């Protein structure tokens, strides 16, 4: 064994470690909520201030909970993907959470870009968002029949994430 | 003129009644002090290099409001931190808790230091073995003494 072998191996290991570290996205903080029951809340609906929505209404169904806002730029990027998804015959219900928005702005945004949601809950002061650990919009939660969060997407849903992570999980949960 | 002065005096008497003291920024200094203490220990998730106390991000403001509410409800510092950890994960803590998943984080630097010291000692020991003492012969000693004398004079 050459006397340089050991330092060289150490150096390569260090470079590999740093390369992996550079490739990670520091904004993706693993959510402690995955595997836990979705926090309960009661919030008015965006289109019908008189009616409330609570995650309990969705017990027994697998559903997606998508946090969006009219002021959020990457929501626009994500929106067509959600619309396309809800057109599928086997699509599960998608509930929106209009996060820290103005009611008119939220409604106008949906009129302009299309409304794929069964309904949107209206979270004016962001309290629901805090309970769900939202720190950047859009965020999406996949919730199972028992009301347990199974997956959290931080940032926009991309076609890859939808195909490779969300859809297989939905299939499994719907069994 | 006299009437005017009297009116002025009367008005000035009224004034202090109307001028209200500016509402203090902190409603309750004790709550605010605890809020600052707690939020300096917490990371803002939007600007990740800022503490919750220093960040101007909207989310940080909301979270400070939330923490303020929790303090007023009588929650202890640890309960407030647990509240945030259960929603945002260990990442919000600048000082992670010591538990199995963070053992390496806490012990890592000392482990590296130990490995470094160990290799250093081994290297030094190895070297002292390799360097063999070769005593000077009588002739060499004489030459060295002569050279040293030359240098002194």
Q: In chain B, which residue's Cα lies nearest the Cα of A136? A: B46
Q: What is the pTM of this model?
A: 0.73
Q: What is the pLDDT of residue A77?
A: 93
Residue B153 contacts A where some CB pair is shorter than 8 Å: no
In a domain, A16, yes or no: no
CB contact under 8 A, B62 and A29: no
Residue A135 contacts B where some CB pair is shorter than 8 Å: yes
B9 pLDDT more than 80: no
B34 pLDDT more than 60: yes
In a domain, A146, yes or no: yes
CB contact under 8 A, B88 and A29: yes
Total domains present in chain A: 1
Residue B21 contacts A where some CB pair is shorter than 8 Å: no
Give me the domain span that covers residue A148: 31-173
A134 CA to chain B: closest CA distance, Å? Answer: 8
**Of residues A23 and A161, which shows the higher confidence score?**
A161
Give the angle subtended at the CA of A120 by the CAs of A137 and A63, to the nearest 5°. 85
Q: Which domain CATH number covers A64?
A: 3.40.30.10
Q: What is the ipTM, given to two decimal places?
A: 0.75
d(CA B90, CA B84): 9
Report DSSP letters for B60-120, one per residue: HHHHHHHHHHHHHTT--HHHHHHHHHHHH-GGGBSS---SGGGHHHHHHHHHHHHHHHHHH
A78 CA to chain B: closest CA distance, Å? Answer: 20
CATH number of B25-92, picked from 1.10.8.640, 3.30.710.10, 1.10.530.10, 2.40.30.10: 1.10.8.640
A65-121: per-residue pLDDT in tens?
999 999 999 999 999 999 999 999 999 999 999 999 999 999 999 999 999 999 999
B110-152: per-residue pLDDT in tens?
999 999 999 999 999 988 888 887 888 889 999 999 999 887 7
Q: Using a CB-CB distance cutoff of 8 angstroms, which residues of chain B are in contact with residue A129?
A: 62
In a domain, A56, yes or no: yes
A14 pLDDT more than 50: yes
A107-156: per-residue pLDDT in tens?
999 999 999 999 999 999 889 999 999 988 899 999 999 999 999 998 99
**What are A107-114's contacts with CB under 8 Å, separation 24+?**
A107/A46, A107/A47, A108/A70, A109/A70, A110/A46, A113/A76, A113/A79, A114/A79, A114/A83
Mutation site, B88, B90, B120, interface A, largest A CB count within 10 A: B88
Q: What is the pLDDT of residue B131?
A: 82
- Pick from B46, B66, B89: which is nearest to A30 by CB? B89
| pLDDT band at residue A26 under the 50/70/90 scheme | confident
In chain B, what are the domain boundaries? 25-92, 97-125
| pLDDT band at residue B17 under the 50/70/90 scheme | very low
Q: Using a CB-CB distance cutoff of 8 angstroms, which residues of chain A are in contact with residue B91?
A: 29-30
Q: How many CB pairs under 8 A join A and B?
A: 40
d(CA A55, CA A57): 5
Q: In chain A, which residue's Cα lies nearest the Cα of B91? A: A29
């Amino acid at each position: 064994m050459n006397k340089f072998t050991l330092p060289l191996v150490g150096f390569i290991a260090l470079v590999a470690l740093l390369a992996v570290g550079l490739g990670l996205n520091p904004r993706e903080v693993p959510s402690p909520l995955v595997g836990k029951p979705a926090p309960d809340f009661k919030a008015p609906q965006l289109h019908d201030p008189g009616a409330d929505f609570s995650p309990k209404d969705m017990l027994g169904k697998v559903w997606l909970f998508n946090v969006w806002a009219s002021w959020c730029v990457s929501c626009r990027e994500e929106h067509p993907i959600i619309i396309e998804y809800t057109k599928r015959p086997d699509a599960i219900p998608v509930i929106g959470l209009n996060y820290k928005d103005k009611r008119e702005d939220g409604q106008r945004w949906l009129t302009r870009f299309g409304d794929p949601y069964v309904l949107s809950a209206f979270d004016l002061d962001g309290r629901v968002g805090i309970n769900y650990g939202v720190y950047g919009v859009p965020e999406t939660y996949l919730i199972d029949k028992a009301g347990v969060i199974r997956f959290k997407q931080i940032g926009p849903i991309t076609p890859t994430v939808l195909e490779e992570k969300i859809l297989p999980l939905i299939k499994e949960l719907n069994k | 003129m006299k009437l005017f002065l009297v009116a002025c005096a009367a008005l000035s008497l009224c004034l202090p009644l109307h001028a209200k003291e500016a509402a203090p920024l902190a409603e309750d200094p004790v709550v605010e002090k605890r809020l600052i203490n707690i939020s300096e220990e917490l990371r803002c998730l939007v600007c990740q290099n800022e503490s919750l106390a220093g960040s101007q991000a909207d989310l940080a403001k909301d979270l400070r409001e939330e923490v303020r509410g929790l303090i007023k409800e009588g929650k202890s510092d640890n309960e407030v931190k647990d509240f945030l950890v259960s929603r945002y994960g260990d990442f919000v803590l600048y000082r992670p808790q010591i538990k199995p998943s963070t053992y390496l984080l806490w012990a890592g630097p000392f482990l590296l230091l130990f490995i470094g010291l160990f290799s250093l000692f081994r290297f030094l020991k190895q070297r002292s073995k390799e360097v063999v003492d070769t005593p000077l012969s009588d002739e060499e000693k004489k030459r060295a003494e002569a050279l040293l004398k030359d240098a002194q004079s």
